[in-house]
Amino acid sequence: MSKRTKDVIIWFVTFFIMLIICLPGLWIILSAFRPNGEILTKPAIWIPQNLSLDNFRAIFGMGDNVVAIPVGSYFRNSLVISTTSTFLAIVIGMSGGYAFARFQFPGKASAFLWIMLSRTVPGIALSLPLFIIWSRLGLIDTPFGVILVYTAINVPFTVWLIEGFFRQVPHELSEAAQIDGCTRWQAFWKIEFPLAKSGVVSAGIFAFLTSWNEYALASQLTRSTDSKTLPAGLMDFTAQFTIDWAGMCAMAVIIIIPALILTFLVQKHLIAGLTFGGVKG
Partner 1 sequence: MKKIRQCLREHSVPLALLAPAVIIILLVVLLPLIFSFYTSFTNYRLIKPETLWQWIGLRNYQRIMGDWAFWVAFGRTVLFLTIALNLEMLLGLGLALLVNRITWGQRVMRTIMMFPMMFSPILVGFQFKYMFNDTIGVVNNALQSLGLTHEAIPFLVDRWLAFFSISIAEIWMSTSIFAILILAGLFAMPRDPIEAARVDGCNNWQVFRHITLPFLMPFIYIAMTIRSLDVARAYDVVDVMTGGGPAGRTELLWTLIARTAYDDARMGRANAMAYVSILLSIFFTWFFFRKLMQARKHLGAF
Partner 2 sequence: MAEVSLKNVVKFYGDLEVVHGINLDIAHNEFVVLVGPSGCGKSTTLRMIAGLEDITGGEISIGNRVVNNLPPRRRNISMVFQNYALYPHMNVRENLGFSLKIAGKSVQEIDDAVNDAANILGLAEFMERTPAELSGGQRQRVAMGRAIVRHPDVFLFDEPLSNLDAKLRTQMRTEIKKLHQKVKTTIVYVTHDQVEAMTLADRIVIMKDGHIVQVGTPLEVFEHPVDTFVASFIGSPPMNLIEGTINNNKVTLSDGVTLPIPPKTGNSLSDGQKVIYGFRADILMPKGHTLAKGGQTADLDLTIDFAEPLGSETILLTKIGGVEIQAKMHNPRPVKEGEVLTCELSIEKSHLFDAATGRTLKV
Which residues are CB-neighbours of 186 under 8 A, at least 6 positions away? 177
Q: Is the CB of 20 or the CB of 62 nearer to partner 1?
A: 20
Interacting partner of 44 out of partner 1, partner 2, none (Cβ under 5 to 8 A depending on kind)? partner 1
Contact stretch for partner 2 (CB under 8 A) within 5-13, 129-137, 180-188, 263-271: 180-188
Report the residue count for the chain: 281
Which residues in 57-86 contact partner 1 (CB under 8 A)? none
Residue 7 sits in the site that holds partner 1 (CB under 8 A): yes
In the chain, which residue ranges form alpha helices assigned H by DSSP?
A: 3-31, 36-40, 54-59, 71-102, 108-117, 123-137, 143-168, 171-179, 184-187, 193-213, 218-221, 230-234, 245-275
Q: Which of 51, 53, 117, 179 binds partner 1 (CB under 8 A)?
A: 117
Residue 126 sits in the site that holds partner 1 (CB under 8 A): yes
d(CA 62, CA 86): 31
Interacting partner of 264 out of partner 1, partner 2, none (Cβ under 5 to 8 A depending on kind)? partner 1
Min CB(133)–partner 1 separation in Å: 6
- Which x/- pattern over 188-227 shows residues binding partner 2 (rule: CB under 8 A)? --xx--xx--------------------------------
Interacting partner of 249 out of partner 1, partner 2, none (Cβ under 5 to 8 A depending on kind)? partner 1
d(CA 61, CA 48): 24
* Cβ–Cβ < 8 Å for 40, 264: no
d(CA 159, CA 277): 12
* Residue 276, beta-bridge partner list: 280
Residues 34, 38, 42, 43, CA torsion sign: negative
Q: Is the CB of 6 or the CB of 197 nearer to partner 2?
A: 197
d(CA 165, CA 272): 10
Q: Is the CB of 193 or the CB of 215 nearer to partner 1?
A: 215
Residue 179 sits in the site that holds partner 1 (CB under 8 A): no
Longest CA span, the chain = 77
Residue 172 sits in the site that holds partner 2 (CB under 8 A): yes
- Which x/- pattern over 181-220 shows residues binding partner 1 (rule: CB under 8 A)? ----------------------------x--xxxxx--xx
Residue 47 sits in the site that holds partner 1 (CB under 8 A): no
Which residues are CB-neighbours of 111 under 8 A, at least 6 positions away? none
Residue 182 sits in the site that holds partner 2 (CB under 8 A): yes
Residue 108 sits in the site that holds partner 2 (CB under 8 A): no
Strands (E), 189-266: none
d(CA 240, CA 155): 37
* Residue 280, beta-bridge partner list: 276
Min CB(23)–partner 1 separation in Å: 9
Q: Which residues bind partner 2 (CB under 8 A)?
A: 170, 172-173, 175-184, 186, 190-191, 194-195
